[in-house]
Structures are given as C-alpha cells and as structure tokens.
Amino acid sequence: MTTSTTKKLKVSFLEPPAVTDRSAERFAGCTYELYHFPDLANLYPFTILHQRGVNVDFLDASLLGDTQESFLERITDAPADFYVLHAVVLAKPTDLEWIKKIRASQPDAWILIHGPEATRVPFEYIGEDERIVVFRGEVERSLVEFVLGEMGRENSAKPFGLSRYESAQGKIVDYAPDPRGPIPFDELPIPARDHPAVSRYTDRYFNPKYRGRPHALMLSSRGCSFRCSFCVPNAISFAREMEGFNTTGHKPRVEAASPQRIAAEFRWLKDHGYKSVHIADDQFLWQKKRTLEICDLLAPIGLEWGMLSRADFLTDEEVVAALARAGCVSIDMGVESLKQDVLDKIRKDLDVKDVYEAVRLLKKHGIRPKVNIMFGTTPEETPEDIYWTVKELKKLDVPNVMFAIATPFKGTEFYDHCKEKGYLIDETDNLNPMGKAMISYPQLTNQQLEELERYAYRSFYLRPKVVVNRLLGIRRLKDVVNDLKVAKRILLH
C-alpha cells in the first residue's frame, strides 16, 4: 500500500507503562529500572525520520507520569499512523498487552516492532496481523525506508531485514537482511535530543554516578569482539548479533565511531546544556592511539563523563591519565569474578591481575571504578569462590560494586548450554538477574545463588565506612529518596 504524499502522516515512538510490577530498562535490555534512561534504540530511527521531514513523537510513559489509562487516552486523543515499540525480553508482557491496546484503539495503524526479542521470535509479536511488522537487527535503514515507502515519499523497493504476515501465503515471511551490511557508525545522526518531543524530558534524565545534570546517555559503537560465553550486550548490539548469528553464523563486525564523531556529539551535548555523559558502549576503549586521540579532543570540551571498559584496557597509566584529563570520572568494569580459574572457564580472556592494576590506576588518577560481578557463570564456581571474591572486593576498596546472578537469556550460547546440560530450571521470560536464579548447578544451587547475592550486597554495602561515605556524598533530598529506592530493591529483593 502507498499513501498520498499530501497527507502529513505521523510516527509515534512509544515506551508504554509496564503492565507488570517492574519496568524494564529497555536500552540495556537485561535488567529492570533503578533509574530511567532514554531509549537510544528508538532515538536513532526517530531522528532519521525527523530529519527526513516526518512528523514524529516520542512518548515515554514513565517521564510523562502516565498510568495505563492516561497513556492509552493520550495516544487515542492524538493518533498516529505508525507506532514503534522497542522489544526486549523483560518488556515482553508489557509490549504484547500494548499491541492489543493499540490495535483496539487504532485498527488501521501500523505497529512496527524492533529489538532483540522481536528479532528472536517475531511470530510472537506478529500473529496474523498484516499491519504488524518486525524489523530484525539494525533498523535505521529497514524501518525508515519502510515508513517512507508507505508514506509515498520514496519508491517502494523490495523490503529487507523484516518479518511480516502475508495473507496470500498464509504465513509469516522473513525478508533477507540488508545487503549493504552493518551501518558505519559515523553515518548515524546525533540523536535529536532537542526535538520538542524529547527535550521535554531533558531535566528528568540523571545518573547518580555523576554530579552534572541534565545527563545524557550516549553510544559510540555497536558490538563487541570478545567471546565471553555468558554475555548479553546492550539491546542494540544484541539485536544485531542475534540477526548475524541467524544469517551468517557469527557476530557482525564492531562498528565504532571516529574520534571526530565522538567529539562532535560531546560538543553538541555541551552546547545544548548537558552537564554529564555516560558512554554505554559494550566496550568503549580499543587501540591506544585512538583512545589518546579521543581524549585530546574531549579535554577542551569540559564535560563530566564515564563509560564501560574491560580492565585490561586500563593497565597503561598513560591511557588512564589521559582519560582523567579528558573529564572521565567513572568507569564500569565487567569483571565477573576475581578467581582466575572461573574467568578462564567463561572465556573472559582476562588476567585477574589486570583488575587489581586497573583499580589502582583509576583511583590514583581520580576516576571512580565500579566493578560488575556475576555469580554462577560456570558450574565449576563454588560458594567458596564467591565468598573469596567478595572479601577481595572489600580489600580493593572500590566505591561501587554491582552483583548479579548469571542469567541465561534466550538467544545466547549460555542459554543453549544450560538447557542442554539440565542446569536451566526456569524457561519462562520472568527474568531478574538481580535476585532470581534461573539456573541450578550440582555444587551451586539456585537457592545458594540467591542467598549469596543477598549476602554480597549486604556484606559489601552495609559496612560503616561505605554508609558514612554515601551519607557525606548526599547533595539533595532527591538523592536520599533514590538511595532508599535502590537499597530496597538490591538489599531486600
């Protein structure tokens, strides 16, 4: 179908209110919200369509303060021709329910769905509805070109990278991926955070690791070249990896922004009043020369920022010192365990000594290290290994540690392995890496995993020194409220 170009059609990108008791964090895709991030997976196609002259809206129920009833009233009162949902597994109950609500409210609208869970099981979202389309993997070309084709703004070529029900064939048809391959990152636009539909939320975005507000979540690459067996990357990377494995049998290549592109987005954010930035790449640092060039470009901009990195990219003092000069104040490191044999078994390809050296250098140069630990990544791990890791973390004297239980997300190698070996005890989508074990090993049961996670949080964070330091760092009443909410979730489960 092609519509007339005289009609000003509208595309609404939605983050509807949860129908469950917890809201999924959609950008990461593998956890529930402690505080709210903008969903970059929706912001990129939103921006491209806006730049192409399309009327777009960005409805975030959490930041609008909407209930299910008021959100439905909002989209009914200002209907769109296309509704876009970013589907991650933890949001599946919400998305499936809202597909029904949208269809009942707008029987002729297109419902466009993308994300890792829709890429994995498109049929669960489509059913036999010809006006529901799932876009697999990367969507900045496939979704945008589909919308423009339906609007009559571009010639309708054969679709690609999507799945849809076709009544003539009586089944869901999967169209081949984009023949042009992955999108070079520098071809992606800087997200249109200044668009009125997005800028209304600006003051609501924050991250407690940073003093500066408003805060921006930023991406500068897609994908990771490492081979950790348990890994679930951010939702954009996960969707493209899943599509890559399904079509070629291997991960797509990493697409990283040039140092100039990264600096350009930092300058844009500074010019638009942002005070801090978190770079949420699965792995931000690569070659030393590139890192030093990025730091040289970011230093004069003067923004507070942080990132995720492997520890072995932080053992060169010249690199760490350059990061500090460039304004980096916080780095999350995926460590998983401080036992070398555990790291070896999960193909972390990391020398545990590098963790100690990275923490030392970060603290020396005034960058706050945050260590992410995951219990149960291998059946060979024991309770004694976990107790030892927690004890070592206290000696390291890092300010922040996040503990989680290894969760076999569908579509990962870890899930297939756990299912084959009989370690998987719950195959539902009711996941919760912070509190619920979906696996049970002979020497590390699901009950032990859950109790050890509770022990780790309480043992690490309820020490007098940690409590006093946190109290001294409180600047606003809101910080107290946020701390209490986080404490309730991670300490009491």
Eight-class DSSP state of 335:
E
Reply yes or no on whether the pLDDT at 94 is more than 80: yes
Which of the pair, 187 or 464, is modelled with greater confidence? 187
pLDDT, tens digit, for every residue of 259-299? 999 999 999 999 999 999 999 999 999 999 999 999 999 99
Q: How confident is the model at residue 488 (pLDDT cuts 50, 70, 90)?
A: low
Q: What is the pLDDT of residue 228?
A: 85
Domain ranges within the chain, ordered by starting residue: 10-174, 194-492
Q: May I ask the CATH class of domain 10-174?
A: alpha beta
Question: For the stretch 189-217, what's the b/e string if a residue is b when 16 or more beta carbons lie within 10 angstroms of its beta carbon?
Answer: ebbbbebebbeebbebbbbebbebbbbbb
Q: In the predicted model, what is the mean pLDDT of residues 451-469?
A: 88
Q: Among 412, 337, 420, which Cα is nearest to 380's?
A: 337
Q: How confident is the model at residue 249 (pLDDT cuts 50, 70, 90)?
A: confident
Run of H or E including 85: strand 82-86
Provide the token pair at 70. 């008021």
Amino acid letter, 323? L
Q: How many helices (H) and strands (E) does the chain have?
A: 19, 17
Q: In the predicted model, what is the mean pLDDT of residues 398-404?
A: 93
Q: Which residues pair with 276 in a beta bridge?
A: 215, 304
Q: What is the pLDDT of residue 5?
A: 41
Q: What is the pLDDT of residue 476?
A: 58
Eight-class DSSP state of 444:
B
Tell me the C-alpha to C-alpha distance, in Å, between residue 31 and each of 28, 75, 91, 223: 7, 27, 10, 19
pTM of the shown model: 0.92
User: For 96-237, where are the E strands, in sequence order?
Assistant: 110-114, 132-135, 162-166, 171-174, 215-218, 221-222
Distance, in Å, from the CA atom of 329 to the CA atom of 56, rounded to the nearest integer, reads: 35
| Torsion sign across C-alpha atoms 310, 377, 93, 36 | negative
Gap between the terminal Cα atoms of the chain: 50
Percentage of residues in the chain with pLDDT exceeding 70? Answer: 93
Tell me the C-alpha to C-alpha distance, in Å, between residue 298 and each of 264, 277, 323, 385, 460: 9, 12, 9, 40, 34
Q: What is the pLDDT of residue 276?
A: 97
Distance, in Å, from the CA atom of 116 to the CA atom of 240, rounded to the nearest integer, reads: 8
pLDDT, tens digit, for every residue of 123-153? 999 999 999 999 999 999 999 999 999 987 7
Distance, in Å, from the CA atom of 237 to the CA atom of 221, rounded to the nearest integer, reads: 9
Distance, in Å, from the CA atom of 253 to the CA atom of 222, rounded to the nearest integer, reads: 9
pLDDT, tens digit, for every residue of 338-363? 999 999 999 999 999 999 999 999 99
Angle (CA) 249 250 251, round 5°:
145
Distance, in Å, from the CA atom of 480 to the CA atom of 397, rounded to the nearest integer, reads: 23
Reply yes or no on whether the pLDDT at 415 is more than 60: yes
Q: May I ask the CATH class of domain 194-492?
A: alpha beta
Q: What is the pLDDT of residue 491?
A: 54
Contact 275, 207 (CB under 8 A): no
Reply yes or no on whether the pLDDT at 478 is more than 60: no
Q: What is the pLDDT of residue 156?
A: 63
Distance, in Å, from the CA atom of 45 to the CA atom of 254, rounded to the nearest integer, reads: 20
pLDDT, tens digit, for every residue of 45-88? 999 999 999 999 999 999 999 999 999 999 999 999 999 999 99
Contact 94, 144 (CB under 8 A): no
Q: How confident is the model at residue 230 (pLDDT cuts 50, 70, 90)?
A: confident
Which of the pair, 366 or 32, is modelled with greater confidence? 366
Using DSSP's 3-state secondary structure scheme, residue 116 falls into helix
| Torsion sign across C-alpha atoms 148, 98, 39, 29 | negative
Using DSSP's 3-state secondary structure scheme, residue 134 falls into strand
Q: In the predicted model, what is the mean pLDDT of residues 385-405?
A: 94
Provide the token pair at 65. 């303060």
Reply yes or no on whether the pLDDT at 96 is more than 70: yes
| Torsion sign across C-alpha atoms 455, 458, 463, 469 | positive
Question: For the stretch 411-428, what's the b/e string if a residue is b when 16 or more beta carbons lie within 10 angstroms of its beta carbon?
Answer: bbebbebbeeeebbeeee
Q: Look up tokens 């170009």; give the residue.
A: 5
| Spatial CB neighbours of 378, under 8 Å, sequence gap ≥ 6 | 342, 345, 346
